Structure 1
Amino acid sequence: MSIIEKPESESDQAGGNTPERTAPTRPERNTEYDPSTLRSVFESHFTYATAFERNTHRFGTRTALTDPPSGRSWTYAELGRVTGSLVAGLAARDVGVGDIIAYQLMNTPEFAFLYVAAQGLRAVSSPMNFRLAPAETAHILNDSKPVVFVYDTTARADAATALTLATHAPRILAGVGDGELIPGSIHFDELLAENAPSFRAPEGASVWDETSRLYTSGTTGMPKAVPLTSLNEVLTAHDVIMHFPLAPTDKTMNMSPWFHRGGNYCAGPNTAFFVGAEVVTLPQFDAGLVLDSIQKHRLSYVIGAPTNLERLADEQEAHPRDLSSLHGMVTMGAPLDRAAALRYQGTLTKRIANGYGTTEAFWNTYLRPDDLPDAAGAAGRACLDDDVAVVKVYKDRIAGPDDHAEKNGHEIGEVIMRSVKSGYAYMHNPAEEAEKFRDGWVYPGDLASWDENEIVTIIGRKDDMIISGGENVHPVQVEEVLAGHSGVADSIVVGLPDEEWGEIVVAYVQPRPGMLTDAAAAATELDAFCKSSVSLAHYKRPRRYTFVETLPYTATGKKQHFVLKQQASADAAAGAFVAP
């Protein structure tokens, strides 16, 4: 079996051509020592594929992957054989270097196989959000132009619609599951070649190869393509291994979908397969099933959004399980408030941690268990290999990385980071790329403060800020106050256009079951609650309320304020809001 080498022009077509950048010159040596051999070994063998191949024999008899829904499991040696079989099967279909392999799957074994196999081909793994609308999936298909598209047969109708809407047609279609296939598709198992060798790191691979292309979760609009190199894969795994810390003896379950950076890369297949740990799949979140899995499989780490932990705590209080195997729970996507942190430490595990990050740069701050509960609500300090700063915000220019906001916990600036876990690019989007990546720093657009110990607290997105009567109102501050009311399960605060004030503050509130059932009375009660808060200026309190069953979140657990901001005028016209 040989890996298909694409001509440069064809590879450019598959991967998407972008303007060439001038390569930085290497610094002059400071002594006569010549590191060229080290450089060669590093660039050729410090790849994710090399690390995975190593584990197929180093930990050959250990379990690598367990899939409770199917009752199947794979040792590292078996995982090496099945991924090697997939590499051979795809290569036989002329899939090779630089080709995009797209897949829209839940947390299933096939997801893990495709992620690894792409690196065995020097191809590019591109997982897609399975919650996207067909038009959004079509947008990504047109943007990435994959050669292969693998879909879940339970979502056949949406996948078929997306393929109809897309102008790009993937050459190979494959379905996972027992459902009906889209015409022209083959079943995933048909991609597996018989009698193929075990997985091998490919010849010619480099740490600079693009290995993954992720799409942002959409807090501001249509997803953007984020390229990651093999070096990004390795250093992200290192980061998680250091911060958890994670060992080959650990068993992990990620409650978040693997298709995003905080799923696959936070003790999902990326990190677990790198260190030699075991991954237990969870296709869809169910609090009872997660707790049962901790007890049955003796899981040591469980990862998810704070909303997942809230449901786990509810379920554990109602039906306690043995959680003594846990070494920790790690959350991402949103901060933990003090009351929630204390509750989870008492109900689930003492070792609760929280990471803040982005698709573009993974996590860059980490709130350790020892930081809780005193620093609850904060995002923590910079991760070990990262530089993080909070810089001033100006109306007419972007602050440089040394133009710091005061380290007093009060001045609000923009958080920026410099990290080797970032690819520092958006594919096919030079305008956004120039805005977000500046002189080696990532500017994600999040507002924050930091204190004298450089503990960062995220305030919200710059785009979400409400300007009412010339005053800035940060939605997160209002939402934190509302969260203190016993009847509020969750809320999103946005600005509603207003002729007199420019914008007024309005709140979409998700009540707890059986509470705040009368909208008029609830609005009056919440208004009084906000007025009584010592943490909220009166001009910041909501002037209108509407009560909803659900709120829009990204797959990473981040609130989508922009969705409700766009919807607010129509809701107001329809009479959905109630004034206190």
Structure 2
Amino acid sequence: MHCALDWFQSRVDLFPEKKAVVDAKTNDTWTYKQLNERAERLAQYFIERDIQKGDRVALLAPNHISYFDFIFACMKIGTVFVPLNWRLSNDELRYVVQDCSPKFIGIDPQFQGNLTQVEIDSILIEIDNNNYIDHLQTSSTLSEVHEPDETDALAMIYTGGTTGKPKGAVLSHRSILWNAMNTIISWNLTNEDITLTCLPMFHTGGLNALSLPLILVGGKVVISPEFEASTAVNDVITYECTIVLCVPTMYHMMIRTKAFQQADFPKMKVFLSGGAPCPHEIYKAFREKGIPFKEGYGLTEAGPNNFYIDPAETERKVGSVGKSMLFNDIKIITENGDKVDGCDVGELLIRGNHSFEYYWNKQEQTDRTIIDGWVYTGDLARQDEEGYVYIVGRKKDMIITGGENVYPLEVEHWLESNETISEAAVLGLPDEKWGEIVVAFVVPTEKVTETELKMYCEKKLTKYKVPKKFVLLDELPKTHVGKINKAELRDKVVEMN
């Protein structure tokens, strides 16, 4: 017998010999039955080392079969999986490890140095290759399973954030299952679908956007331990992927490769973009090749899948993430908490069984984020008359200059439509006269002057939206998951002044 929440065991029972996971680097392949045997072996290892229901087990590794070993072992015995971000600084990693206090850490040898300065009281094992599981000293059969409540924690993913300490978002069995079911039904995923996971699996996009939904539906997940643009394009073709999620930074690199320019992706149903608003030039690159491409929206605390748009609608509704998926609700509210009028901009709220339960050890922040069952995302959005939603930007990024609201994303999209600009980021900086002024940071592809950029902006943008200052850079700083790090840009300006 197995508990009803161990849906993975049910999937294994239905199609034990179907291929479930492929390692793109080694070409090792595991069936659902083999994946389950690995998870049971690891779960028994935990049990024999007195790791109990509710205890945290952490993993510090690049994308690897161990991510599935860990989460499915946790599903069986009620432990909590904490994927650690290997891109964190030593101080940040120390904070996260001390905050979640794992009883056990699996670590890839290349990251041993990351833990040298972290005081830990955990059992450590090396995840040195795909066969690490065979070297665990443990009996071969799983001696017990726990029947968790649906709201019991299954995973804890630390949010990247660019301000403050990382927060551990606790995702329950219910959160992860409902996100997967909602995705499968709303996006029409089937057991014939194949994805390439090159987003880091310590991130909700790598783990929960497509990897776990495809395992639930009986599809195939190809894992890649690192992202290299040409390799990713070739892997998509080699493994006949049908649906893939990347962040805009990845697509920005991919569309410039020879591999992309020569490819026609015969099996691909749709490329998805998430993690940050997608520049329109990326839409254009896919449209010119006749490849379906669309944008999604999610966050660690909700989903991360919340919307659906038919790829055929993306040209008519450029930049829209679509409409709310089947099993979640959304609303857009004013500062006063009222629903916005018509197409006005307001804060996006999300509600559904896929949302997180709470922030680990942070009750006050939990209470500010979940109110009456709604997750307050901190993102600004608008909804057109047909119900299509557009993400306008972060609430904290909105610029108020001379009493007028400026949404940086609108300015960024216009700048990035200029062929001489590779990337752009816009933020507000304090100003005695205006309160804030609009400042643009741009990465040019060829020589361009501030005057030329200003004239270009004046062609399209209202006067108060035109940046008062342009800062030319060789590259824009990025966060751990490839988003533009606006906090670091703000610090650059302070240093310059």
After TM superposition, the score normalised by the length of structure 1 is 0.80
Instruction: State how 1:42-441 maps to structure 2 within 5 Å.
Output: 45-47=3-5, 49=6, 51-161=7-117, 163-164=118-119, 169-177=120-128, 188-189=132-133, 192-193=136-137, 196-197=140-141, 202-268=145-211, 270-315=212-257, 319-347=261-289, 349-350=291-292, 352-362=293-303, 363-394=305-336, 399=337, 403-408=338-343, 411-441=344-374
Whole-angstrom CA distance in 2 between matches of 1:321 and 1:457:
30
1:16 alignment counterpart: none
**Quick one: structure 1 residues 200 and 531, their matched pair in 2 at CA, closer, same or farther if it must change by over 3 Å?**
farther
1:32 alignment counterpart: none
Q: Alpha-carbon deviation of 1:436?
A: 1.1
Whole-angstrom CA distance in 1 between matches of 2:66 and 2:427:
40
Whole-angstrom CA distance in 2 between matches of 1:454 and 1:193:
56
- Determine whether 1:561 maps to 2:496: no
3-state SS of 1:357 partner: coil
Q: Alpha-carbon deviation of 1:442?
A: 0.9
Q: Alpha-carbon deviation of 1:207?
A: 1.8
Whole-angstrom CA distance in 2 between matches of 1:212 and 1:370:
35
Q: For residues 480-503 of structure 1, give each alpha carbon's deviation from its aligned partner in whole angstroms, at most 9, with x where no partner exists.
A: 111111111111112222333332
**Quick one: structure 1 residues 471 and 321, their matched pair in 2 at CA, closer, same or farther if it must change by over 3 Å?**
closer
Q: Percent identity?
A: 28
Q: For residues 141-185 of structure 1, give each alpha carbon's deviation from its aligned partner in whole angstroms, at most 9, with x where no partner exists.
A: 121111112222212222223x14xxxx2321123237xxxxxxx
**Quick one: structure 1 residues 433 and 567, their matched pair in 2 at CA, closer, same or farther if it must change by over 3 Å?**
farther
- Determine whether 1:454 maps to 2:387: yes
3-state SS of 1:527 partner: helix
Q: Alpha-carbon deviation of 1:340?
A: 3.0
**What stretches of structure 2 of length at least 5 have no aligned partner?**
none
**Quick one: structure 1 residues 348 and 172, their matched pair in 2 at CA, closer, same or farther if it must change by over 3 Å?**
farther
Equivalent pair of 1:508/1:545 in contact (CA under 8 Å): yes
Q: For residues 511-530 of structure 1, give each alpha carbon's deviation from its aligned partner in whole angstroms, at most 9, with x where no partner exists.
A: 23xx13xxxx5212111111
Q: Alpha-carbon deviation of 1:195?
A: 5.3
Q: Alpha-carbon deviation of 1:188?
A: 5.0
Equivalent pair of 1:448/1:458 in contact (CA under 8 Å): yes
Paired letter, 1:221: G
Equivalent pair of 1:232/1:423 in contact (CA under 8 Å): yes
3-state SS of 2:390 partner: strand
Paired letter, 2:450: A
1:539 alignment counterpart: 464
Q: For residues 391-428 of structure 1, give each alpha carbon's deviation from its aligned partner in whole angstroms, at most 9, with x where no partner exists.
A: 1124xxxx1xxx211223xx221111112101242121
Equivalent pair of 1:367/1:380 in contact (CA under 8 Å): yes
Equivalent pair of 2:428/2:436 in contact (CA under 8 Å): yes
Q: For residues 258-291 of structure 1, give each alpha carbon's deviation from its aligned partner in whole angstroms, at most 9, with x where no partner exists.
A: 11222111121x2222121111111111121122
Equivalent pair of 2:58/2:83 in contact (CA under 8 Å): yes
3-state SS of 2:262 partner: coil
| Higher alpha-carbon deviation: 503-512 or 430-439 | 503-512
Paired letter, 1:549: D
Equivalent pair of 2:41/2:133 in contact (CA under 8 Å): no
1:36 alignment counterpart: none
Q: For residues 360-381 of structure 1, give each alpha carbon's deviation from its aligned partner in whole angstroms, at most 9, with x where no partner exists.
A: 0122223331321111112221
Equivalent pair of 2:90/2:114 in contact (CA under 8 Å): yes
Equivalent pair of 2:189/2:217 in contact (CA under 8 Å): yes
Paired letter, 2:392: I
Q: 1:549 aligns with which of 467, 474, 479?
A: 474
Q: 2:438 aligns with which of 501, 505, 514?
A: 505
**Quick one: structure 1 residues 226 and 348, their matched pair in 2 at CA, closer, same or farther if it must change by over 3 Å?**
farther
**Quick one: structure 1 residues 510 and 177, their matched pair in 2 at CA, closer, same or farther if it must change by over 3 Å?**
farther
- Determine whether 1:525 maps to 2:452: yes
Equivalent pair of 2:397/2:408 in contact (CA under 8 Å): yes
Whole-angstrom CA distance in 1 between matches of 2:96 and 2:185:
33
3-state SS of 1:442 partner: strand
Whole-angstrom CA distance in 2 between matches of 1:441 and 1:239:
17
Q: Alpha-carbon deviation of 1:344?
A: 1.0
After TM superposition, the score normalised by the length of structure 2 is 0.93
Whole-angstrom CA distance in 1 between matches of 2:298 and 2:38:
33
Q: For residues 298-332 of structure 1, give each alpha carbon's deviation from its aligned partner in whole angstroms, at most 9, with x where no partner exists.
A: 11221111232233322257652351011221221
3-state SS of 1:443 partner: strand
2:375 alignment counterpart: 442
Whole-angstrom CA distance in 1 between matches of 2:255 and 2:283:
11
Q: For residues 220-243 of structure 1, give each alpha carbon's deviation from its aligned partner in whole angstroms, at most 9, with x where no partner exists.
A: 432211111111111111122123
Q: Which has the larger radius of gyration?
A: 1
Equivalent pair of 1:507/1:545 in contact (CA under 8 Å): yes
* RMSD value, Cα: 2.3
Whole-angstrom CA distance in 1 between matches of 2:166 and 2:353:
22
Whole-angstrom CA distance in 1 between matches of 2:320 and 2:232:
26
Whole-angstrom CA distance in 1 between matches of 2:162 and 2:430:
20
